[in-house]
A and B are shown apart, each in its own frame.
Chain A
């Protein structure tokens, strides 16, 4: 093969990857918009935290993983589940509390699980799952595997003891874990700088002698590249990495919370929307001639149809049988 063909193939693979990323980000955006609608209609209950604005983080980082790697997350995890390949129908059915949901209707929005995809949940206590991510890394190392565990959490979790205990042990035990801090600036309605003495999360890695990287979370390719570097470190010698991915949520903390108001201004949200990760990638692809407006519209229509299909599936699925109340409390 000539050098030129190798380069062509590389470019082709990269173009293909970028198109796939755009597709996944669009899927998440349309899915979450539909989720908001379904919530307003009362089809989804409880707490429901949308991922709109943060799509580049899940999509970019998960594109760097293999199928046999593990993923674990907090309660803002619809986007990560979808980017990991959990079926949109099973996720929507879970939000609807249906028997066909990915957690059989027993988990809900904050507890999406698909162990087959090595998507190890959706966890509802801020920071509580961070040690679980390290434990999965511990098991990988114990079993002599070369997989990694990608563990997502928000910046507010950095103020919790579990974060510090875990980073220390992950470093001491050389665990193949990528700690991906999605810094969307606000823990519910509290700006991070109001409650954190150190506002650059990435600096915490110094305390634990850990590799770290600050990443632009609105740039899906930057997230992908940084995660790839972290994955290499983890596979090579079980070296954990702390990624601080700066992102922004365009919606309120949960469906029960205002989009803006006392804690951030409308202008700020509007300003941030100009950095929309989906528009940015779409612009890049159109500028490069890899995609035109017609292609983009077609892709968007396809994603909307896929989400419609997921909603239809969830709507038509049955509730869990009443006998399910008492199943899965203890294992045999």
Chain B
């Protein structure tokens, strides 16, 4: 199986889906001539031309809305945001237009559209460029939200997102674009709504998604090495719909859980997961479920402060040790 970067896996998904369906087009800032701010769209302008790879002005609300309108009239747009931080300017189109058209039209207007781009903090970009938006977006009925952690999942989930007849939010990661992994060639789709066990274990469940999958996997190694504890790492992959079965199956086995995310603690994805666990696994729990999140502050610029603000393997290990009553 070929090894690809996360960036190239996304590129492959876009290329294959654009070859497969002439109604699929890509629109966003710098996607064409510049080959993508993060080079996810490299080569697509040359292959598909400017009608299908459309450069836009810096006007997120405007081009997100043009995408929604195009989907209303039969196209399957892929709208790239240079980062999800800028997509906040387009939230009206995502929340009020894309997510509601099917319902408020009484089922007349399915809306096949993908909104994608990097989410969460990279390195020292400061408060406005270092935010994780998944809890905002997952709150909205009518949207689907996926957050792939590996190149293979990135390809498979983006392909599913493009084929889906609903608005799908694809949360990528600037720090993930260069990561490598094996990616199946050609037709490879990952169904939306299914979590994936990235490491099996029996003592504690670490529930994570996107960049925090790497954090959890490192924590699991440390737990095995230093505490003799076997951690199971459940990658949610899809945040809406949430794979409740995968969460409960793992927690029923381990009786302990830590939820890790890049977002802030209040009303975070972890809060939702904990709600699922307390309701579905109440009798199986041997310890309170703990959460590791970004510190409840705007992201600082200073390198040391930034490191302190982010979820880290050490923080996950500390939380896991507490739920295992090792400390």
- Decide if A and B are genuine partners: yes
Residues of A within 8 A of B (CB): 70, 72, 101-107, 111, 113-115, 120-121, 123-125, 128-140, 142-143, 149, 161-162, 165-166, 168-169, 172-173, 327-332
- Contact status A132-B105, CB under 8 Å: no
- Contact status A330-B69, CB under 8 Å: no
Question: Which of B59, B97, B144 is in CB contact (< 8 Å) with A165?
Answer: B59
Q: Which residue of B lies closest to A134 (CB)?
A: B66
- Contact status B69-A103, CB under 8 Å: no
Query: How far apart sit A68 and B57, CA to CA, in the bound complex (Å)?
Result: 30
Query: How far apart sit A262 and B69, CA to CA, in the bound complex (Å)?
Result: 38
With a cutoff of 8 Å between Cβ atoms, the chain B residues found around residue A169 in the complex are 56-57, 59, 62-63, 66
- Contact status B92-A125, CB under 8 Å: yes
- Contact status A331-B165, CB under 8 Å: yes
Query: How far apart sit A128 and B101, CA to CA, in the bound complex (Å)?
Result: 13
With a cutoff of 8 Å between Cβ atoms, the chain A residues found around residue B70 in the complex are 135-136, 138-139, 142
Q: What are 13 A-B pairs at a CB distance below 8 A?
A: A107-B105, A114-B108, A120-B73, A121-B109, A125-B96, A135-B65, A137-B69, A140-B73, A165-B59, A165-B62, A169-B62, A331-B102, A331-B166
Q: Are A172 and B104 CB-contacts (below 8 A) given A138-B66, A142-B51, A330-B142? A: no
Question: Which of B62, B71, B141, B142 is in CB contact (< 8 Å) with A131?
Answer: B62
With a cutoff of 8 Å between Cβ atoms, the chain B residues found around residue A166 in the complex are 62, 65-66
Chain B interfacial residues counted at CB < 8 A: 41
- Contact status A135-B71, CB under 8 Å: yes
Chain B 76-110 interface mask (CB, 8 Å, partner A; 1/0): 00000000000000001100110001111111111
Query: How far apart sit A329 and B109, CA to CA, in the bound complex (Å)?
Result: 11
**Knowing that A115-B108, A331-B111 are A-B contacts, what are 13 other residue pairs whose CB atoms are under 8 Å apart, sorted by A's residue number?**
A103-B105, A107-B105, A113-B105, A120-B109, A123-B96, A125-B92, A134-B62, A136-B69, A138-B70, A169-B59, A172-B57, A330-B102, A330-B166
With a cutoff of 8 Å between Cβ atoms, the chain A residues found around residue B74 in the complex are 139, 143
- Distance between B106 CB and nearest chain A CB, rounded to angstroms: 3
Query: How far apart sit A138 and B97, CA to CA, in the bound complex (Å)?
Result: 17
Chain B 98-139 interface mask (CB, 8 Å, partner A; 1/0): 000111111111110000000000000000000000000000
- Contact status A327-B107, CB under 8 Å: yes
